[in-house]
A and B are shown apart, each in its own frame.
Chain A
């Protein structure tokens, strides 16, 4: 512990990040520039989320990290260990027990509470970036609330595919003002963006922080005749039989057999321990 300052970052860096978080909360959905630091992991591995978590954690927190819903992938394990070592915080895999949850590309299935904080890792914070590559122009578009281009993109989806084909990083409008990239969460998760917990978004390489306070209005962009639809694979989880969770498809063999399992591993485990058994599941010894 004594080899590091608390939570790895130096105090001046944390103050800079904390000021950015406060401005982000005051202007929901607006991307606040911040001086992102080099972290002991490569860009693209959650350096933005890690810096936001470092500025947010206290020694009394219980920390959880998920990667695509899972607690035990490389990215989640290494970030969890990083803060165990540098901040000395307790860690957990249980959504219920966590006070700060860092996530890559999912929102936990269990509803979050007012005393919890959800920190997103964001690769490309600018929802308009693939439509307009110049930062000077996208800044101007946000300032003028000029979001017609985004609706053109969704319309082109409909004209080509017959439906809005955007399945993840589905753009939302926050508090009737800023169009925001919710990070590459599946659009199944979009309705959950209106929640009781504080949501913080960190993009390390792109040097942006943004935030959504609790109970903030978050609307997925759509059209009257093509309303937004939160979609998932039309199956139940093969391990826990859940019909309301987002599913991963797993190929089992060369013969084309496959199974669908909850992407949220904690949700699936909790259900199996409560006695739910799916098509390919086994009874869990109590």
Chain B
């Protein structure tokens, strides 16, 4: 059954995991791999959320979100269909940027970054993870160095300067997943970014 048939058969709530335990295990391994190796780009396209959300972003939400995690739907992602889909599959509450564990949307809709929680000096893990929908995702552009990177890596970033500013906050700060269609990469706060 292809995506449109699946959606036709299951209505607004189609496109979720067919076998949640197994599919989320594989999806998590992909998410863990890219977070551990900034710059690595992997395929992630199990789930098919309502437009305009990408398959990679939808799969990530199903893998990591549940009633304990507030999700901020930024800009065009905040549609009734998306709210319904997220509620049906994860039970995650939709919250404002200042309370979000996860935020998803395009970069222009997600900024400014200082709305999100960056953790506290004693608990830097209490910080938001941003899922940024991008048009291009390729191993070119900004140079990355730091934990998880052998020498250096390159990755196309939506706003290298703002992300470098986030890295200055280490060990506080935000962590990013970059999603583009059915592909994903990540940029944790520990990565040092230089242009070009």
Which of A's residues lie within 8 Å of B, judged by CB?
A: 5-7, 11-12, 14-16, 18-28, 30, 32-33, 55-60, 114, 139-140, 142-144, 175, 177-178, 196, 198, 211-217
- From the candidates A16, A32, A33, A142, name the one contacting B68 in the complex (CB within 8 A): A16
Is B111's CB within 8 Å of the partner chain A? Answer: no
B32 touches A18 (CB 8 A): yes
Q: How large is the interface on B (under 10, 10 to 19, 20 to 34, 35 or more residues)?
A: 35 or more
Residue B20 interfacial (CB < 8 Å): yes
Q: Is the CB of B124 within 8 A of A6?
A: no
Q: Are B146 and A175 in contact (CB under 8 A)?
A: yes
- The residues of A that contact B122 with a CB separation of less than 8 Å are 139-140, 142-143
Contacts of A196 in B (CB 8 A): 150
In-complex Cβ contact of B29 among A26, A27, A56 (8 A): A56
A144 to B109, CA, bound (A): 34
**Is A5's CB under 8 angstroms from B175's CB?**
no
Q: Mind listing 10 A-B residue pairs with CB under 8 Å? A: A7-B21, A11-B20, A14-B28, A20-B125, A22-B129, A26-B189, A60-B26, A213-B37, A214-B36, A215-B148
Specify which of B29, B127, B147, B171 is in contact with A213 (CB 8 Å cutoff): B147
Inter-chain contact B171/A15, CB cutoff 8 Å = no
The CA-CA distance from A177 to B167 in the complex, in Å, is 13
State the CA gap A285–B107 with chains docked (Å): 64
**Smallest CB-CB A-B distances: 6 pairs:** A213-B148, A26-B188, A143-B121, A6-B21, A216-B147, A23-B125
Task: Choose among A24, A27, A55, A58 the residue that contacts B22 (Cβ–Cβ < 8 A).
Answer: A58
**Dominant secondary structure of chain B at its interface with chain A:** loop
Q: For the complex, is B9 an interface residue (Cβ under 8 Å from A)?
A: no
Q: Which residues of B contact A58 (CB under 8 A)?
A: 22, 25-26, 29
Q: How far is the CA of A215 from the CA of B39 in the complex (A)?
A: 14
Chain A nearest CB from B86 CB (Å) reads 14
| Residue in chain B with minimal CB distance to A142 | B122
Q: Does B45 contact A (CB under 8 A)?
A: no
From the candidates B66, B146, B148, name the one contacting A15 in the complex (CB within 8 A): B66
> Would you call B157 an interface residue if the criterion is a C-beta within 8 Å of the partner chain's C-beta atoms?
no
Within 55-70 of B, Cβ neighbours of A (below 8 Å) are at: 63-66, 68-69
Residues of A contacting B190 in the complex (Cβ-Cβ under 8 angstroms): 26-28, 175, 213
Which residues of A are found within 8 Å of B125, using beta-carbon distances? 20, 23-24, 27, 30, 32-33
Is B148's CB under 8 angstroms from A18's CB?
Answer: no
Closest beta carbon of chain A to B125's beta carbon, Å: 4
Residues on A with C-beta less than 8 A from B189 are 26-27
Task: Tell me the smallest distance from the CB of A90 to a CB of chain B, in Å.
Answer: 15
Chain B window 108-130, contacts with chain A (Cβ cutoff 8 Å), 1 for yes, 0 for no: 00000000000011111101010
- Nearest CB in chain B: distance from A143 CB, A: 4
Name A178's closest neighbour in chain B (CB-CB).
B171
Give B21's nearest chain A residue, CB to CB.
A6
B193 located at the interface, meaning its Cβ lies under 8 Å from any Cβ of chain A in the complex: no
Q: A11-B21, A58-B22 are in contact. Are A198 and B64 (CB under 8 A)?
A: no
Contact residues, B18-43 vs A (CB, 8 A):
20-22, 24-26, 28-29, 31-33, 35-37
Contact status A30-B32, CB under 8 Å: no
Q: Are B69 and A19 in contact (CB under 8 A)?
A: yes
Contacts known (A16-B68, A22-B32); A11 close to B24, Cβ less than 8 A: yes
Q: How far is the CA of A24 from the CA of B190 in the complex (A)?
A: 11
Instruction: Select A25's contact among B36, B68, B149, beta carbons within 8 Å.
Output: B36
Q: Which residue of A lies closest to B68 (CB)?
A: A16
Whether A18 pairs with B171 at a CB distance below 8 angstroms is no
Interface centre among B31, B32, B123, B150 (most CB of A within 10 A): B32
